[in-house]
Chains A and B, each alone.
Chain A
Amino acid sequence: MTQCISNIPFLAVAALIGTGLSIIVFNRNLIKLVMGITVLEAGVNLFLVGLGYRQDGGVPIYTNACHTNMVLPVPQALTLTSIVIGVAITAFMLSMIMVIYRHTGHIDAKRSRTLKG
């Protein structure tokens, strides 16, 4: 039973990454593409945090520690970094979409005339 419960975060990771990928593949609206990236990123971040979790683990602070069982601090540090980077990327992409909209009046990748692949 505990095995089952401890797997739930990873099921959520799979659901989030699946959703993110399907949004990226099947949508042509630029804003929705950015949303897809954000969902994908949430999935990856959850994966990192989930890896570091230990059942009944305490806060990983060694001063006056009352737990001997602690969750891993490194994945949390990694996640924090990746969240910060993610915000920068989302903001940057959204601002680009804004300017694209100002130029063309639409945000549909299918109607783009300049991209030829």
Chain B
Amino acid sequence: MDVLLAHSPVLIIAIPLLGAFLTPLISRVSDKGRDVLVIATLVFVEFLVIILAVDIYLGGLHIYALGASSPLLARPEHHMAPVRIVLEVDAMSILMGFISATVSLAAAIYSVSFMRRDTGKDKFYTLLLLLTAGMMGLEFTGDMFNLFIFLEILSLSGAALASFRTGFVDALEGGFKYMFISAVASLMILFAVGIFYGQYNLLNIAALAQAIQYTTLDKIALALLIMAFIMKLAGVPLHMWAPDTYSVAPAGTTPMIYVASQACMYALFRVCFTLYGVTLNTLTIGWIVIGIGLLSMFVGVTMAVYQSDIKRLMAYHAVSQSGYMLLGVGVGLAVLSDSQALSTYGRQAMGGGIFHIINNAMYKGLLFLTAEALFYALGTRDLNKMGGIGGNMRYTCVFFMIGALAISGIPPFNGFASKLLIYESVYQFNPMLSVVAMMVSIMTLASFVKVFQSAFTGPISPHVRAVKEVPKPMLGGMGILAAIIVFFSLFPGLIMDQIVEPAVEALINQGTYMNGIMGGMS
């Protein structure tokens, strides 16, 4: 068990990779065996994430140096700088890791029956596991160049999954758009990495954070990094790919691609808080993040209200919900150098933003899965052709209601807990921001009432007379996410104290992250 724990940071990335390349081989022997292998891989990853998380909450962050005689030896002897590939997992990384592992598991279980009618499933599961490995790597890496590598793994597998159904031309175009945006974004990141290396001869995030001077070149690098991550997380005005890509990706993979873009949001926070930290002009950068957050919230929801394609509607909501997280954490960033404001409302705002990341991944994932369940059962994504299917698809209807109430921030669901935190704390920073946030929440509710009305209630539409409930594995995938939402709704205080607070602490305390690598040996 100790060995497993000591090596878990690398195993969490390596096991999905190994699984990805075993999948096509097992597929040749038996389809059932492959499904079992995929699920078992993801269950094992989830297990490793949980034991690692418990250890991090009890004993502080974990580092893992690849190729060293001991994983804890980040710097070779007689070296001033870490030259090895280093993974560094703190409370914020493991929170994102938990989200990725859980959503991937739910998505894989869901896909087992959703993909029953498709061919080429060996490749599908390979890509799914690669996407998991990419997300995990992006979240755990302690090195700027590996951040680029894992971002590319994530983008390639995400785009291939989005365009998996090559029979539909919209799927191909959505996937192409995603790949194109990702290629440009990752080249920008590579250029920024080049700027860092040229100045400091370092790639490690912790070492860079210690050395960084905030010169003009560093400002250019920051601008490139922020722009690239905003592109990848679909913040308005660089959100154009999101609705096209989310609405065409097959079933379970939509939430995964969404969580992948939240992993990019994590990378944005990591760069702002840990890499630059207080050397930044935090007020300006904070306001930039807040501004993008506000725009995403507002534009996302206004575009969502009038959509008639259910997945497109959900995709715009995904854009709009990202805005809340940017708003919450942006307020924290804006007051980072002002310790009094930070302790009165900055921490609370960041806590709200981070709590919203985990809540949102769960209920948005659930909503994407219910939308796909409707598509699976009815064969259409058009809301105007649906109607009165609540009676035939009871479980899906209940799951949809849980997701819709949570996303609209209706008490007692978890969306309410995190949104309330954001409203309260942001109000003390600037009251107008809170007003916009509440208005967006009301419009979110309005558009979900519309979906509920037109899909589940009312007279049974002639298009959908003989619909049946979706198969059990699909319900199981949705059930996992719904159960987590209910759990979070019942114990928001517990989650806040045990999981979110350490994550906020990890982002604010730049020194802890640096000491993980640089300390102890100097």
Chain A residues engaging chain B, CB cutoff 8 angstroms: 17, 24, 30, 33, 37, 40-41, 44, 47-48, 51, 72, 74-75, 78, 81-82, 85, 88-89, 92-93, 96-97, 99-100, 103-104, 112, 114-117
Q: Are B173 and A114 in contact (CB under 8 A)?
A: yes
B423 at the interface (CB under 8 A from A): no
Given A48-B190, A74-B197, A93-B176, A114–B169 Cβ distance below 8 Å? yes
How many Å from the CB of A80 to the closest CB on chain B?
12
6 contacts between A and B (CB under 8 A): A24-B184, A47-B194, A48-B190, A48-B197, A96-B176, A117-B244
**A-B contacts, CB under 8 A, total:** 82
Q: How far is the CA of A88 from the CA of B157 in the complex (A)?
A: 11
Interface set, chain B 155-209, CB cutoff 8 A to A: 156, 159-160, 163, 166, 169-170, 172-177, 179-180, 183-184, 187, 190-191, 193-194, 197-198, 201, 203
Q: How far is the CA of A82 from the CA of B172 in the complex (A)?
A: 25
Q: Are A96 and B177 in contact (CB under 8 A)?
A: no
How many Å from the CB of A11 to the closest CB on chain B?
16
Interface set, chain B 401-433, CB cutoff 8 A to A: none
Task: List B contacts of A40 (CB < 8 A).
Answer: 184, 187
Q: Mark B322-340, 1 if CB is under 8 A from A, else 0.
A: 0000000000000000000
Q: Are A100 and B184 in contact (CB under 8 A)?
A: no
Q: How far is the CA of A20 from the CA of B166 in the complex (A)?
A: 29
Q: How far is the CA of A75 from the CA of B187 in the complex (A)?
A: 15
Task: List A contacts of B179 (CB < 8 A).
Answer: 89, 92-93, 96
Q: How far is the CA of A49 from the CA of B372 in the complex (A)?
A: 47
Q: Beyond A89-B183, A92-B160, A103-B169: 18 further Cβ-contacts under 8 Å? A: A17-B191, A40-B184, A41-B187, A48-B194, A72-B201, A74-B197, A81-B145, A85-B149, A88-B156, A89-B156, A89-B179, A93-B179, A93-B183, A100-B176, A114-B169, A114-B173, A115-B244, A117-B243
- Which 10 residue pairs are nearest across A and B when measured between Cβ atoms? A114-B170, A103-B169, A51-B198, A117-B240, A96-B176, A48-B194, A85-B152, A100-B172, A37-B183, A47-B194
How many Å from the CB of A49 to the closest CB on chain B?
10
